[in-house]
Structure 1
Amino acid sequence: MDDLKYGTRNKRGDWAPNQPVKTAPLFAFPPRLKAVLKWLPHYFFPWNMIFAASAVAYWAWVIPPVERLQTLGIEWIAWLYVVNAISVFLFYGAFELHLYVFKRQENRFKYNGRFPADQKSKAFWFESQNLDNILRTFLSGVTIWTAVEVAMLWAYANGYAPWLDFAENPWTLALIALVVPIIHEFHFFCIHRLIHTPLLYKWVHSVHHNSVNPSPWSSLSMHPVEHLLYFGTAFYHLILPSNPVLMLYQLHYAGFGAIPGHVGFDKVEIGEDKLVDSHAYAHYLHHKYFEVNYGDTLIPLDRWFGTWHDGSAEGEARMQERYRRRKEKLAVRKARVGIGEAAE
């Protein structure tokens, strides 16, 4: 498939889409009903439906009976960890095999033309991005994912979280299901800005940003503190009138949903003529430039706070202008400090 029909490739082999990234029309003002209706199928398919279906499957076949959940037990906690680990291994591994091991697409639609396995760096354990990312995913990521899952299931089983029945509250729960992605993006933007503060970035978030050229296993390669903040999105369901299935959907949206933003390819080829959009470009630009696109495209939070980069020349100019203004402020601040010290 010719990816140059959809984008351009520079001399280094890096690919970029022709069209700038667009935010969802959901929060546009004045409201654009026609645009929202046209966009809605993309809201559900394929990613959100995959994560929602996985939550239903977990509740049906993985989660123990409520009676067992009322008491913490090593057997069912270990069972959940094993299932989560296997699920991550299969889901993440499928993308890794297809795109990075077998390289069935070669570098078609790949933002960064190089592959992480071809580069060694002392920033990673054993100087290997893949090995570092995999170990962090399973040692910390899946562990904290499971811990949050256990805490929430225990809370539901013991009446500490509001549990609505689907049969009696279909419309309320349908509304909560619809806003699960919105909750995730709001939460992600807030914690993301927090961990980009200098101290937390140095000791916490820099672990994730070591993967400047992200791949599937980079998705959950984080410091344990960031894992706890990230999966803490499930704790909103301690307050919301919700249901354990929707709480699992929230967790799966975070856990499995990290993949699209880090897959490293704009489109995944399925067969010879079908493409699935990853919608990864906005987050790839965050990994590339660090201080843009703290959220994603569902809620235009970066537009509102002045940190949006859509991949266009105008977006680049806005970013550079923001950097220039910040440098000027720092220079003025240093000059004032120097004057003060000289006066003393």
Structure 2
Amino acid sequence: MDDLQFGTRNKRGDWAPNAHLEVAPFWLRPFSILRVLRWVPEYLFPWNAFHMATALLYWFYVVPDVEVMKTLSWGWALWLYVVNAAAIFVMYGSVELFWYVRRKQGTRFKYNAKFPSEQPSDVFWFKSQNIDNFLRSFFISIPLWTLVEVLFLHAFAAGYVPWLSWSDNPWYLAALVLLAPAIHEVHFFAIHRLIHTPLLYKWVHSVHHNSVNPSPWSSLSMHPVEGFLYHAVAFWHLIIPSNPIIAMFQLHIAGFGAVNGHIGFDKLEVTEGTAIDSHAYAHYLHHKYFEVNYGGDGLIPLDKWFGYWHDGSKEGDAMMQARFEKKKARMNAKAART
């Protein structure tokens, strides 16, 4: 595919899409039902459908029997960790292998023309972003993912929280499935904005932001505090009446879905004329500029409402710079008073 039909490349070789980011169409004015209907398939496929499919596969083939989960034990907890780690290794590793190691499409549709392996740095373990990100994912974030998983499954199995059945509550639970990505965006925005406060950024979130040029292994490369808070989105289903399958779906939106914002390519070419949209641009801009796009890609447009939205346009650059100038002026005034 010719990526220059869809975007532009600067002198450094970095690529950017022509189309600017937009929030979900039901927030746009004037309201258009046709625009919403065209958006629905994109909302469902491929990513949310994939996360639901993995949640169902887990529930029927991986999750232990309810009687087993009524008791906390290392046996079934380690089993879940092994499955989670293997699934991430296959999913993230496949993207890493084909698009970063073999570089099957070169830098077509790649936001940053450089590859992490070309940029060793002392901020990473062994001066390698890939090794650092891989180790943090498998020895910090995936164990914390599994901890959250074990705790909510045990809570449902032991009867600590309501377990709504699909036969008695089909419409409510179906609506909750459709709302799960929105819950993720609100939760992610809240914890993400929190760990961007100066103290928490320095000691917690800077670990993730060391990967200015993110790749698949960057997706779950986090400080333990961030890793737990991020996956704890599944605990919302211990507060609202729910079902463990939906809690698993919620967890998979976070765990498997983390790769979306870190793929580094706008499109992944599957065949010569077919590509999968990554929906990675909003979060790539966050890694590039640090203080924009704290949430998702506009399903719940909290970034727009709070003034952090960057749509990839020159106008977005100007709004960001104006906000940075105001922040700098406030900091200088505070320093002067001190």
Instruction: State how far apart, in whole Å, the 2-side matches of 1:26 and 1:142 are.
Output: 35
Instruction: State how far apart, in whole Å, the 2-side matches of 1:75 and 1:322 are.
Output: 51
Secondary structure at the residue paired with 1:8? strand
Instruction: State how far apart, in whole Å, the 1-side matches of 2:89 and 2:165 are.
Output: 32
Query: Counterpart of 2:304?
Result: 303
Query: Counterpart of 2:282?
Result: 282
Query: Counterpart of 1:224?
Result: 224
Instruction: State how far apart, in whole Å, the 2-side matches of 1:280 and 1:114 are.
Output: 17
Query: Counterpart of 2:319?
Result: 318
Query: Counterpart of 2:132?
Result: 132
- Give the residue type in structure 1 aligned to 2:62: V
Instruction: State how far apart, in whole Å, the 2-side matches of 1:83 and 1:334 are.
Output: 52
Secondary structure at the residue paired with 1:241? coil
Structure 1 residue 27: Cα displacement: 3.1
Structure 1 residue 295: Cα displacement: 0.7
The C-alpha deviation readout for 1:46-77, integer Å capped at 9, x for no partner, is 00000000000000000010000001122111
Query: Counterpart of 2:179?
Result: 179
Instruction: State how far apart, in whole Å, the 2-side matches of 1:73 and 1:29 are.
Output: 53
Structure 1 residue 296: Cα displacement: 1.6
**Shift in alpha-carbon separation, 1:161–1:27, aligned structure 2, 3 A:** farther
Instruction: State how far apart, in whole Å, the 2-side matches of 1:78 and 1:236 are.
Output: 24
Instruction: State how far apart, in whole Å, the 1-side matches of 2:223 and 2:192 are.
Output: 13
Query: Counterpart of 2:97?
Result: 97
Structure 1 residue 213: Cα displacement: 0.1
Structure 1 residue 335: Cα displacement: 2.3
Q: Does 1:330 align with 2:331?
A: yes
Instruction: State how far apart, in whole Å, the 2-side matches of 1:100 and 1:69 are.
Output: 39
- Give the residue type in structure 2 aligned to 1:167: S
Structure 1 residue 30: Cα displacement: 5.8
Query: Counterpart of 1:86?
Result: 86
For 1:109-124, list aligned pairs within 5 A.
109-124=109-124
RMSD over aligned CA atoms reads 0.9
Structure with higher Rg: it is 1
Instruction: State how far apart, in whole Å, the 1-side matches of 2:245 and 2:31 are.
Output: 31
Structure 1 residue 315: Cα displacement: 0.3
Instruction: State how far apart, in whole Å, the 2-side matches of 1:96 and 1:26 are.
Output: 35
Instruction: State how far apart, in whole Å, the 2-side matches of 1:104 and 1:131 are.
Output: 21
Structure 1 residue 31: Cα displacement: 4.0
For 1:1-344, list aligned pairs within 5 A.
1-28=1-28, 31-297=31-297, 298-337=299-338
- Give the residue type in structure 1 aligned to 2:160: Y
- Give the residue type in structure 2 aligned to 1:248: M
Structure 1 residue 326: Cα displacement: 1.3
Instruction: State how far apart, in whole Å, the 2-side matches of 1:123 and 1:8 are.
Output: 31
Instruction: State how far apart, in whole Å, the 2-side matches of 1:30 and 1:158 are.
Output: 49
- Give the residue type in structure 1 aligned to 2:237: H
Secondary structure at the residue paired with 2:171? helix
Structure 1 residue 333: Cα displacement: 2.1
Secondary structure at the residue paired with 2:206? helix
Structure 1 residue 29: Cα displacement: 5.3
The C-alpha deviation readout for 1:268-320, integer Å capped at 9, x for no partner, is 00111101111111100000000000012211111100011111000000001
The C-alpha deviation readout for 1:61-106, integer Å capped at 9, x for no partner, is 0001000000112211111110011001001011111110110010
The C-alpha deviation readout for 1:143-180, integer Å capped at 9, x for no partner, is 00000000000000011122111111110100110000
Structure 1 residue 37: Cα displacement: 1.0
Instruction: State how far apart, in whole Å, the 2-side matches of 1:212 and 1:80 are.
Output: 31
Secondary structure at the residue paired with 2:13? coil
Runs of 4+ aligned residues of structure 1 deviating over 4 Å after TM superposition are none
Conserved in 2, the CA contact under 8 Å of 1:261 and 1:279? yes
Unaligned runs of 5+ in 1: 338-344
Instruction: State how far apart, in whole Å, the 1-side matches of 2:206 and 2:336 are.
Output: 30
Larger mean CA deviation between 121-130 and 296-305 belongs to 296-305
Secondary structure at the residue paired with 2:147? helix
Secondary structure at the residue paired with 1:21? coil
- TM-score computed with the length of structure 1 as normaliser: 0.96
Instruction: State how far apart, in whole Å, the 1-side matches of 2:178 and 2:28 are.
Output: 18
Instruction: State how far apart, in whole Å, the 1-side matches of 2:96 and 2:302 are.
Output: 31
Instruction: State how far apart, in whole Å, the 2-side matches of 1:147 and 1:38 are.
Output: 38
- Give the residue type in structure 1 aligned to 2:89: F
Structure 1 residue 118: Cα displacement: 1.1
Conserved in 2, the CA contact under 8 Å of 1:162 and 1:239? no
Structure 1 residue 142: Cα displacement: 0.8
- TM-score computed with the length of structure 2 as normaliser: 0.98
